[in-house]
Amino acid sequence: MKKTVIVSSPGKLIIGGEHAVVYGRRALVTSIGMRLYMQLTVDENSSNQTDKHLLNVLLHDTNQRYTIDLSESSGSHPIEIQAVIYAYNHFKSLLSDRNTLNIEVRSEIPIGAGLGSSAAFSVCLVGCFYLLSHETLNAEEINQLAYKIECLFHGTPSGIDNTISTFGQSLLYSRTLKKHLNFHLSNLAIIDTGIPKSTKRMVSLVRSFVESNPNDGEKILNEIETCVDTMVEHPEEINQLFQENQRLLKSLGVSTPEIDQIIEILLKNKISTKITGAGGGGCLIALTTTFTKEEVLELLKDNPIKSIQFVECGVEGLREEQTLFS
C-alpha cells in the first residue's frame, strides 16, 4: 500500500534592505512565482524481511538519485540528503520502520542565485513529513523546523528565506519584527548576471567597511532602512527608491563595474534596477514597466548575462498540490 503527499513553496527576492538587515535594520522581502515541488511516497511494504529501511531520493532538475539505508546512522551524505535524514528523524516516531520512503523534487528556482532555493527545499521537506503525519499543514510549526534545516545549509541564517517560503506574500523583516504585508509588484524582471557571487565574502566586505568607517557606515545603513520603509508606505515611489537603494549598496562596495554598466544601460531606458541579495554578482531586479523580455535582452545584447525571468511577487506560500508536474 502506498501513501503520497505533494507540496510546493515559493522562492524569494529581497526588494530592499540587503546588508542593512544584518545590522538590525528592516528589509522588505517578497515571495516569487518560482516554486519548488516535492512528493513524498511511503511504500508500506509488509513483505520487506530485511533490516534495511530505504530512502530513495530523486532530484529531477539535476537528475541525481540517492538510495540511503536509514537504519544506518553513519555515512557521509550530500547536504540535501543530510536535510532529508534530519527531517525524517524528527518525524520517525510517527512512521513505521518497515516503510520505504521515496522523495521526488522538481524546482523552478535556480540554485545559488540568492532566490531561496534551499529554503523552499527545507520548507517542502518539513511540509511533506508534516502533512503525512498530521494530514494538515501548520505553518508556524513547519517554519520553526524548516529554519533548523536551513541551518544545515547556511550555518546561522536570518530566517527570512524559510519564513517567506512558508507564509508567502511579502514581509517586513528585522531581528525584532516580522510583519506580513500585502505588497505586490508587476512586471518585475530577475536578471541573472552570471557573475559568481559569494555571500560570505560580501558580508565580510561590508563589515570591514562599517567597522573602518563607523559614521558613514551607520548613515548608509539608516538610509537603506529609510528606503525600505518608504517602499512600504509609498509604493508609487518605487522607481526612485530602487535607484537610491542601489546607490547606497554601491557605497557599501557590493556592486561591480559589470553590474554598474547593466544598471546604467537600463536606467537610460527608464528601467530602475538594483542588486538583490548580497551583490558582487548574482541577480539584479528591474522594474521593467511595459518592456518585454525580448526588449530587455536587446538592450543588454552587449552585456553577457545568464538569463532574464519575469516573476509575479507576493504569491502563496507552502501549499498542498495534486501533482508534481504542473
Residue of 51, 69, 97, 161 with catalytic role: 161
Distance CA 119, CA 319 (A): 15
Beta bridge partners of 6: 39
In three-state form (DSSP H/G/I as H, E/B as E, the rest C), the secondary structure along the chain is CEEEEEEEEEEEEEEECCCHHHHCCCEEEEEEEEEEEEEEEEECCCCCCCCCCEEEEEECCCCEEEEEECCCCCCCCCHHHHHHHHHHHHHHHHCCCCCEEEEEEEECCCCCCCCCHHHHHHHHHHHHHHHHHHCCCCHHHHHHHHHHHHHHHHCCCCCHHHHHHHHECEEEEECCEEEEECCCCCCEEEEECCCCCCHHHHHHHHHHHHHHCHHHHHHHHHHHHHHHHHHHHCHHHHHHHHHHHHHHHHHHCCCCHHHHHHHHHHHHCCCEEEECCCCCCCEEEEECCCCCHHHHHHHCCCCCCCEEEEECECCECCEECCCCCC
Cell numbers found for residue 169: 506574500
Catalytic site includes residue 161: yes
The residues that are catalytic are 161
